[in-house]
Amino acid sequence: MEIIASLKDAKKVYKTGDTTITALDNTTIDIHNKELMLIMGPSGSGKTTLLSLIGCVIYPTEGEVFIQGNDITGYSEKKLAQIRLNNISFIFQHFNLINPLNALENVMQPLLLKGESTEAAKKKAILALESVNMGDRLNSLPKKLSGGQKQRVAIARALVTDAAIVLCDEPTASLDAKSAALVMNDLKELAKNGKAVVVVTHDLRLRPFADRIVYVEEGKVSDRLENEADYK
Ligand code: ADP
Ligand code: MG
């Protein structure tokens, strides 16, 4: 295993008007390849903030964020966007597929954005969709797919660029238990094949899929679950 990303004493504070919210208290954590890490916590505990720091979507108020060994806290917005495009894939609760595009076109999108030819993008996208058992739905529009199928298209889109880090924010929250298990198995497979996969969830039932679990409670990260009753 290698460290792919890490936070060193990173903290995120939001100021709105005269109130200050510490969304994430000082946190030091390493993200490894070949590992599916679950970040568990009740609603409002700071999970998305933590994921957004790892994903270079926001800057920390204090501390540092390292991606592949580089401290990105001094980077410009433009350079940060480049880091995201090349190193990080995102999967969300609501899939974020582009509605007028079919499954194949959705998965081709990030490759075209990176400047690959249509032909090369198409080949890679088909392979990615086949790997999540969606090879027979290439031409389907998102509205013709179930929630679980849409999420598998989103996973194909995330893996097609071969980014080292795959970040998932509540990826199973809109799915039934069976589809959730399929999605988690696909994510687990990604980790097994070498990626660093981070899954944020408030669903304690996902714990069996994790190689490693951290808990976020009131902005504090720990490896112990403090209060199971908060998870609803
Ligand atoms: P979770 O994902 O666990 O539900 P979040 O990381 O979204 O939690 O939020 C943690 C805390 O930070 C919450 O109190 C939330 O209201 C606050 N927060 C998150 N994002 C912002 C923002 N952009 N501006 C102000 N407060 C925010
Ligand atoms: Mg959240």
Per residue in 189-220, pLDDT (tens digit) is: 999 999 999 999 998 889 999 999 999 999 99
Higher pLDDT, 228 or 39: 39
| Nearest in space to 173 (alpha carbons), one of 153, 202, 146, 208 | 202
Cα distances from 74 to residues 24, 50, 62, in angstroms, run: 20, 18, 12
Average pLDDT, the chain: 95
Q: Cα torsion for 188, 4, 89, 46, to the nearest 10°?
A: 90
Q: Provide CB contacts within 8 A for 138, sequence distance 6+.
A: 102, 103, 104, 126, 129
Residues 92-113 have a mean pLDDT of 96
Domain assignment present for 120: no
| Number of alpha carbons in the 13 Å side-chain half-sphere of residue 116 | 18
**Quick one: pLDDT band at residue 163, thresholds 50, 70, 90?**
very high
Q: 135: Cβ below 6 Å to ligand 1? A: no
- 19-66 pLDDT, tens digit each: 999 999 999 999 999 999 999 999 999 999 999 999 999 999 999 999
Residues 90-115 have a mean pLDDT of 95
What does the alpha-carbon distance between residue 151 and residue 225 come to, in Å, rounded to a whole number? 28
pLDDT at 204: 87
Q: Which long-range contacts (CB under 8 A, 24 or more apart) does 11-20 make?
A: 11/60, 11/61, 11/62, 11/63, 12/46, 12/49, 12/53, 12/58, 12/60, 12/61, 13/61, 13/62
% of the chain residues with pLDDT over 90: 92
pLDDT above 90 for 232? no
Domain assignment present for 38: yes
Q: 118: Cβ below 6 Å to ligand 1? A: no
**Quick one: pLDDT band at residue 228, thresholds 50, 70, 90?**
confident
Higher pLDDT, 231 or 123: 123
Residue of 11, 45, 49, 59 to mutate, ligand 1, most atoms within 8 A of C-beta: 49
pLDDT at 229: 79
pLDDT at 180: 94
Domain assignment present for 158: yes
What does the alpha-carbon distance between residue 219 and residue 228 come to, in Å, rounded to a whole number? 16
The enclosing domain of 199 has a CATH number of: 3.40.50.300
pLDDT at 175: 92
Residue of 13, 19, 21 to mutate, ligand 1, most atoms within 8 A of C-beta: 21
pLDDT at 224: 83
pLDDT above 80 for 231? no
Domain assignment present for 116: no
Domain assignment present for 157: yes
Domain assignment present for 83: yes
pLDDT above 80 for 126? yes
- What separation, in Å, do the N-terminal and C-terminal C-alpha atoms of the chain show? 33
% of the chain residues with pLDDT over 70: 100
Q: Which two tokens stand for residue 81?
A: 């966007």
pLDDT at 73: 95
Q: 60: Cβ below 6 Å to ligand 1? A: no
| Nearest in space to 219 (alpha carbons), one of 26, 15, 14 | 26
Q: Which ligand is the nearest neighbour of the Cα of 46?
A: 1
Q: 47: Cβ below 6 Å to ligand 1? A: yes
pLDDT at 52: 97
Distance from residue 65's CA to the centre of ligand 2 (Å): 20
198 contacts 168 by C-beta, under 8 angstroms: yes
Domain assignment present for 42: yes
Which residues are in the CB-under-5-Å shell of ion ligand 2?
48
Q: Which ligand is the nearest neighbour of the Cα of 171?
A: 2
Q: 19: Cβ below 6 Å to ligand 1? A: no
- Number of independent structural domains in the chain: 1
Closest ligand 1 atom number to CA of residue 51: 6
Q: 201: Cβ below 6 Å to ligand 1? A: no
The residue whose CA is least distant from atom 23 of ligand 1 is: 14
Domain assignment present for 122: no
Domain extent at residue 77: 3-95+141-224
